């Protein structure tokens, strides 16, 4: 094969880069072992609907068998709303680790029949015991004795509770791994973190639940709504029964419905939820247990894992606890936590020694200079479960400042405080921290909160668990309606407030005579968070919170500190240092070497290049495009005299049909191609290939150049290192939070869907939080919720004073997102202005009338309105263009003529304006291209013969 000789040092460097990439790819391919073969078998279980019942339910399952058998078995349960298919990837991974895996769809989910009864011991748990019986008869499964297979059970959320409950009712279970799940579902959905009296509480297990709790209305609605809506798998047929209960057992649905109306649970509902929870049987667990809980989880907080850990340890079984930076608010389980589950099952089912270390992660604490990387920490034992079980968590007492304060709950509890959004709480909170005050979602309405603060910290403080504080509260509220919400903020010296994990403690105060002070110990939600030096902690007691069922009657509270200090737990731990695979490091090192070489070449050439002129008058203007042209050798003119200006804070949409010249314009803006004439200036600096000012611009134009064999995170790191800028300026964590990829960022890009690639490309464009961001079709491959999230991100980004230039075909999204638009066609700008200016200028009006025919007669007789015509439909409607005519003149004329007017509305959309502009432009372009008749030199009339130009 012949390769042309490179003509420059840059070309030599490019050839070297390609060669090294090929060598690295070959080395990685040669050293990577192929995944072990796994065979699968679909299985159907016909099981009794209930003990003693002749009715049956059919459960859909799949068996995964590894290469070598007999092997230990793993029963894999899914989360709420999932099925055997939703855990298929984890099942295959476990089978490749050497386990026989049985994954199944629980009652009411996937293709399984039956009704959801929330892990009823006589239904869902009995189903799981029957599957263990079945595994005892399989020759592929290792057996410990007659009818006793070597088996572990694992699952997340709904499946995690099933795993713990099965372990408490079937002594054949040899290992349990439960993730992001509950201990007592009643306490999880109706929490109460207040305890009357100054009771010392210093560990996560000490969360109090005295009295009826406060409903997590947002989460409970999602939880019960998922089942009431039926199964998403059409193969299972319609949900049984009728009405709002869907696939839920009617008794459970009706009990919840009553609680949802009042915001308070009945004793019967709490008893039922507890009976369907691990708490009812967890004292009988004998198998080694791993508990994995998310630090960003406002549904099942760290207190739920703590209760499980202490109850299992009290029964004498070994238990390990791991907290990871995820949870129901951050995409659910994570790939690292699933790897920890696989390692735990391998050790326990392979006769390894129990591991009781406590592992948790300190997220990067948002600061005004960026966020440091996460740190995984390890302690020898979970607090209180070690060699001396009575040892409490080490604590620190911090003095707090704040006098007696009064707060109110308005009638209807509106507006309500906003701390988190179920399912997005933690990630949205971090997004708000990244975007600044313009997107501060952690909002406490004025007059509805009392605040107490510590002094700025003289050194970093690690908070691990639940903090406590004692207060005195007097209230003027109806009986049973005294509810407060407590939260602990990390506040920077600049006033930026961060609510770790989006966590809030709901407190229902005991009834007391009006105005009588009641002592109260407030146990705050468990968190893992490092407060940087110079920051301070702020305790807020609020009267409302949107995530909970707030009493609707007005109330007044007076709060004072009885002990002017807050007790903060801090577990001594060491930082883990992870070993990285050698082959990827070698490959990355080689690539970085080539990138460094290219950087040197670029620096040498940049010194030889003259510095582009700077216009001082435009230093604060993000983009000015002046008389821009781009023509090609074949005569095609892609851009023909384009001029427009983009200012700070704008979200400007660049619109046009295919071939309009939008992408060519953006590529010239990026310095990827050179204009034929004209110029572009970014913050006053002329844009040329490699211009330094381009470092202030982030872009995603015609593909992101992602490397499929690297993880998303490695792609971002490599991209940033290639810029040569300091790592501290990347704002990596903030960009990842905005992109909302969760733990998928650790997976290789080749496994990403198109939507995930788009979000990773958005994160890449946002690295460094550039002053000007340029995006070409950023919503390609995104589903409607993701498109809406993208819209909110772009609007919030512009509110910080930065600027966004976006090209898109989704005109409805542009209308909702953009402040300004530039419309191009045939390489020219055909319209520009604000969205409101364009739509109002093309205004059309609809009149709903009693007699459409008579209305047309009247309107045709008026001066001003044009384009009057009837719109077909059930309601008589007339459409017209008012022009400069006052609408009241039209309405008065119709009424005086006996025509009843039922309504008047504008109908203009940006899409209508765009289509009309392009249509007019196309006709003008066509007319300009047509041959024209030649005129006589002595006459104004055209000649009869038309000659081609």
In a domain, 62, yes or no: yes
More confident residue, 705 or 504: 504
Per-residue confidence (pLDDT) for residue 11, from 0 to 100:
54
Same domain, 803 and 660: yes
Same domain, 725 and 753: yes
Show which of 802, 818, 836 is a domain's final residue: 836
**CATH, residue 700:** 3.40.50.300
Residue 705, phi-psi category: left (phi > 0), alpha (psi -120 to 50), beta (remainder): left
Q: Which two tokens stand for residue 137?
A: 């008869």
Q: Is 414 a residue whose pLDDT tops 60?
A: yes
Query: pLDDT, tens digit, for every residue of 710-764?
Result: 888 888 888 888 777 788 888 888 778 777 778 888 888 888 887 788 888 888 8
For residue 808, how far is the Cα from the chain centroid?
23
More confident residue, 459 or 837: 459
Query: Whose CA is closest to 109, among 81, 137, 149?
Result: 81
CA-based end-to-end distance of the chain? 50
Show Cβ contacts of residue 473 under 8 Å, excluding neighbours closer than 6 positions: 482, 484, 509, 517, 518, 520, 557, 558, 559
Contact 707, 755 (CB under 8 A): no
Q: What value, to the nearest 5°, has the Cα angle with vertex 900 and ends 894 and 906? A: 75
CA distances, 322 to each of 284, 643, 797, 810 (Å): 22, 57, 35, 44
Contact 230, 108 (CB under 8 A): no
Predicted TM-score (pTM) of the model is 0.60
Query: Whose CA is closest to 80, among 269, 232, 267, 287?
Result: 232
Give the phi and the psi of residue 709 in degrees, each rounded to 5: -85, -5
Query: Whose CA is closest to 504, among 524, 489, 520?
Result: 524
In a domain, 622, yes or no: yes
In a domain, 914, yes or no: no
Please state the length of the chain. Answer: 949
Same domain, 679 and 812: yes
Contact 192, 507 (CB under 8 A): yes
Band of residue 817 on the pLDDT scale cut at 50, 70, 90: confident
Please state, in angstroms and rounded to a whole number, the distance separating the CA atoms of residues 520 and 517. 9
Q: What is the mean pLDDT of residues 65-82?
A: 94
Q: Is 235 a residue whose pLDDT tops 80?
A: no
Please state, in angstroms and rounded to a whole number, the distance separating the CA atoms of residues 703 and 557. 56
In a domain, 274, yes or no: no
Peptide bond into 62 cis (omega under 30): no
Show which of 807, 836, 865 is a domain's final residue: 836
Q: Is 854 a residue whose pLDDT tops 50?
A: yes
Same domain, 514 and 430: yes
**CATH, residue 533:** 2.60.120.260
Q: Is 271 a residue whose pLDDT tops 80?
A: yes
Peptide bond into 70 cis (omega under 30): yes
Query: Whose CA is closest to 570, among 745, 395, 831?
Result: 395
Q: Is 556 a residue whose pLDDT tops 90?
A: yes
Percentage of residues in the chain with pLDDT exceeding 90?
34
Query: pLDDT, tens digit, for every residue of 281-316?
Result: 999 999 999 999 999 899 999 999 999 999 999 988
Q: Is 365 a residue whose pLDDT tops 90?
A: no
Show Cβ contacts of residue 783 under 8 Å, excluding neighbours closer than 6 positions: 755
Per-residue confidence (pLDDT) for residue 124, from 0 to 100:
95
Per-residue confidence (pLDDT) for residue 21, from 0 to 100:
54
Q: What is the DSSP string of 171-204?
A: TTEEEEEEES--S-HHHHHS---EEES-----SG
Number of domains into which the chain is organized: 5
CA distances, 146 to each of 68, 72, 108, 135 (Å): 21, 15, 32, 12
Strand ranges (E), 865-930: 866-871, 877-881, 901-906
654 is in which domain, residue-wise? Answer: 610-836
Q: In what order do the strands lie in the sheet with 866-871?
A: 866-871, 877-881, 845-849, 901-906
Q: Is 232 a residue whose pLDDT tops 60?
A: no
Same domain, 604 and 614: no
Q: Is 62 a residue whose pLDDT tops 80?
A: yes
Per-residue confidence (pLDDT) for residue 578, from 0 to 100:
47
Show which of 836, 859, 875 is a domain's final residue: 836
Please state, in angstroms and rounded to a whole number, the distance separating the CA atoms of residues 130 and 170. 10
Query: Whose CA is closest to 68, among 141, 132, 150?
Result: 141
Strand ranges (E), 740-794: 772-776
Residue-averaged pLDDT of the chain: 80
Decide: helix, strand or coil at residue 641.
strand
Same domain, 49 and 126: yes
Please state, in angstroms and rounded to a whole number, the distance separating the CA atoms of residues 733 and 768. 10
How many helices and strands (H and E) does the chain possess?
A: 22, 41
Percentage of residues in the chain with pLDDT exceeding 70?
80
In a domain, 948, yes or no: no
Q: Is 438 a residue whose pLDDT tops 60?
A: no
Considering only CA atoms, give the Rg of the chain: 33
More confident residue, 31 or 81: 81
Q: Which two tokens stand for residue 440?
A: 């501060």
Q: Is 208 a residue whose pLDDT tops 50?
A: no
Same domain, 450 and 523: yes
**CATH, residue 851:** 3.30.70.1340
Contact 877, 870 (CB under 8 A): yes
Strands 820-825 and 828-834: antiparallel
Band of residue 206 on the pLDDT scale cut at 50, 70, 90: very low
Same domain, 604 and 616: no
In a domain, 30, yes or no: yes
Per-residue confidence (pLDDT) for residue 907, from 0 to 100:
54
Lowest mean pLDDT among 142-151, 565-574, 919-928: 919-928
Band of residue 115 on the pLDDT scale cut at 50, 70, 90: very high
Band of residue 437 on the pLDDT scale cut at 50, 70, 90: very low
Please state, in angstroms and rounded to a whole number, the distance separating the CA atoms of residues 451 and 442. 14
Same domain, 17 and 81: no
Q: Is 71 a residue whose pLDDT tops 90?
A: yes
Same domain, 122 and 25: no
Same domain, 635 and 699: yes
Same domain, 820 and 847: no
Lowest mean pLDDT among 227-241, 450-464, 527-541, 564-578: 227-241
Query: Whose CA is closest to 525, among 497, 546, 499, 505?
Result: 505
In a domain, 248, yes or no: no
More confident residue, 937 or 422: 422
- CB burial of residue 271 (10 Å; 0-12, 13-18, 19+): middle
Query: Whose CA is closest to 673, among 655, 659, 683, 687?
Result: 687
Q: Is 928 a residue whose pLDDT tops 90?
A: no
Band of residue 692 on the pLDDT scale cut at 50, 70, 90: confident
Per-residue confidence (pLDDT) for residue 840, from 0 to 100:
63
Q: Is 767 a residue whose pLDDT tops 90?
A: no
More confident residue, 345 or 439: 345
In a domain, 258, yes or no: no
Query: pLDDT, tens digit, for every residue of 856-900?
Result: 888 888 887 877 888 777 778 888 777 667 888 888 888 888 888
């Amino acid at each position: 094969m012949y390769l042309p000789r490179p003509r420059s040092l840059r070309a030599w460097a490019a050839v070297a880069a390609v060669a090294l990439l090929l060598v690295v790819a070959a080395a990685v391919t040669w050293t990577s072992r192929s995944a072990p073969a796994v065979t699968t078998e679909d299985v159907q279980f016909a099981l009794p609907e209930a003990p003693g019942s002749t009715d049956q339910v059919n459960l859909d399952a799949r068996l995964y068998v590894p290469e070598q058998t007999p092997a230990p078995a793993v029963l894999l349960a899914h989360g709420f709303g999932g099925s055997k298919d939703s855990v298929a990837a984890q099942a295959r991974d476990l089978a490749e680790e050497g386990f026989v895996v049985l994954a199944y769809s629980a009652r009411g989910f996937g293709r399984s029949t039956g009704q959801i009864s929330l892990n009823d011991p006589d239904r869902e748990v009995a189903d799981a015991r029957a599957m263990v019986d079945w595994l005892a008869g399989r020759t592929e499964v290792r057996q410990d004795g007659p009818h006793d297979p070597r088996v572990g059970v694992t699952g997340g959320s709904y499946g995690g509770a099933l795993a713990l409950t099965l372990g408490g009712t079937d002594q054949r279970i040899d290992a349990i791994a439960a993730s992001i799940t509950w201990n007592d579902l009643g306490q999880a959905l109706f929490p109460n973190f207040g305890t009357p009296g100054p009771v010392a509480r210093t560990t996560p297990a000490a969360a109090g639940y005295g009295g009826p709790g406060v409903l997590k209305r947002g989460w409970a609605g999602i939880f019960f709504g998922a089942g009431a809506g039926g199964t998403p798998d059409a193969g299972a047929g319609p949900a049984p029964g009728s009405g709002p209960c869907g696939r839920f057992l009617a008794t459970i649905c009706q009990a919840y419905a009553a609680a949802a109306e009042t915001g308070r649970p009945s004793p019967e509902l709490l008893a039922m939820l507890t009976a369907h929870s691990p708490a009812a049987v967890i004292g009988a667990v004998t198998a080694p247990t791993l508990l994995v809980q998310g630090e960003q989880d406002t549904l099942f907080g760290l207190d739920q894992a703590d209760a499980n850990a202490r109850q299992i340890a009290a029964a004498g079984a070994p238990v390990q606890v791991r907290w990871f930076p995820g949870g129901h608010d951050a995409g659910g389980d994570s790939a690292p936590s699933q790897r920890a589950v696989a390692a735990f099952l391998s050790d326990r089912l392979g006769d390894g020694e129990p591991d009781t270390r406590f592992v948790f992660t300190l997220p990067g604490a948002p600061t005004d200079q960026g966020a440091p990387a996460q740190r995984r920490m390890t302690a020898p034992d979970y607090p209180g479960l070690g060699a001396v079980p009575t040892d409490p968590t080490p604590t620190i007492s911090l003095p707090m400042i704040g006098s007696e304060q009064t707060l109110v709950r308005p009638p209807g509890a509106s507006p309500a405080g906003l701390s988190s959004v179920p399912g997005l709480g933690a990630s949205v909170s971090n997004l708000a921290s990244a975007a600044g005050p313009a997107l501060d979602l952690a909002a406490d309405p004025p007059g509805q909160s009392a605040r107490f603060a510590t002094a700025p910290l003289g050194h970093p403080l690690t908070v691990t668990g639940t903090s406590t504080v004692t207060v005195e509260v007097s209230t003027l509220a109806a009986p049973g309606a005294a509810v407060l919400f407590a939260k602990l903020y990390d506040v920077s010296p600049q006033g930026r407030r961060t609510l770790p994990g989006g966590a809030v403690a709901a407190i229902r105060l005991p009834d007391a005579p009006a105005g009588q002070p009641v002592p109260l110990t407030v146990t705050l939600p468990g968190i893992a968070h490092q407060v940087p030096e110079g920051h301070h902690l702020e305790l807020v007691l609020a009267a409302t919170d949107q995530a909970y069922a707030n009493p609707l009657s007005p109330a007044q509270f007076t709060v004072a500190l009885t002990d002017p200090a807050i007790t903060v737990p801090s577990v001594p731990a060491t930082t883990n240092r992870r070993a990285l695979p050698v082959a990827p490091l070698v490959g990355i090192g080689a690539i970085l070497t080539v990138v460094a070489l290219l950087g040197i070449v670029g620096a040498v050439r940049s010194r030889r290049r003259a510095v582009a002129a700077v216009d001082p008058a435009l230093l604060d203007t993000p983009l000015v495009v002046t008389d821009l042209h781009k023509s090609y050798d074949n005569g095609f003119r892609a851009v023909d005299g384009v001029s427009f200006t983009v200012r700070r804070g704008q979200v400007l949409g660049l619109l046009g049909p295919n071939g309009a010249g939008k992408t060519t314009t953006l590529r010239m803006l990026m310095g990827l191609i050179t204009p034929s004439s004209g110029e572009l200036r970014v913050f006053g600096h002329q844009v040329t290939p490699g211009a330094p000012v381009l470092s202030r611009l982030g872009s995603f134009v015609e593909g992101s150049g992602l490397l499929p064999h690297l993880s998303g995170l490695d792609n971002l790191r490599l991209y940033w290192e290639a810029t040569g800028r300091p790592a501290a300026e990347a704002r990596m964590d903030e960009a990842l939070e905005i992109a909302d990829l969760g733990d998928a960022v650790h997976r290789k890009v080749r496994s990403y869907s198109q939507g995930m690639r788009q979000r990773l490309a958005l994160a890449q464009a946002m690295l460094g939080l550039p002053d000007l961001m340029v995006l070409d079709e950023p919503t390609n491959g995104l589903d409607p919720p993701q498109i809406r999230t993208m819209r909110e991100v772009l609007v919030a980004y512009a509110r910080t004073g930065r600027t966004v230039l976006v090209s898109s075909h989704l005109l409805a999204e542009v209308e909702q997102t953009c402040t300004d638009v530039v419309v191009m066609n045939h390489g020219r700008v055909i319209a520009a202005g604000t969205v409101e200016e364009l739509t109002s200028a093309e205004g059309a009006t609809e009149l709903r009338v009693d007699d459409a025919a008579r209305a047309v007669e009247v309107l045709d007789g008026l001066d001003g309105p044009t384009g009057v015509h009837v719109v077909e439909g059930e309601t008589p409607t007339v459409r017209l263009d008012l022009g400069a005519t006052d609408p009241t003149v039209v309405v008065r004329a119709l009424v005086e003529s006996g025509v009843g007017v039922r309504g008047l509305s504008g109908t203009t959309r940006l899409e209508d304006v765009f289509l009309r502009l392009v249509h007019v432009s196309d006709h003008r372009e066509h007319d300009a291209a047509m041959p024209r008749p030649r005129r006589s030199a002595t006459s104004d009339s055209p000649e009869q013969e038309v000659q081609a130009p």
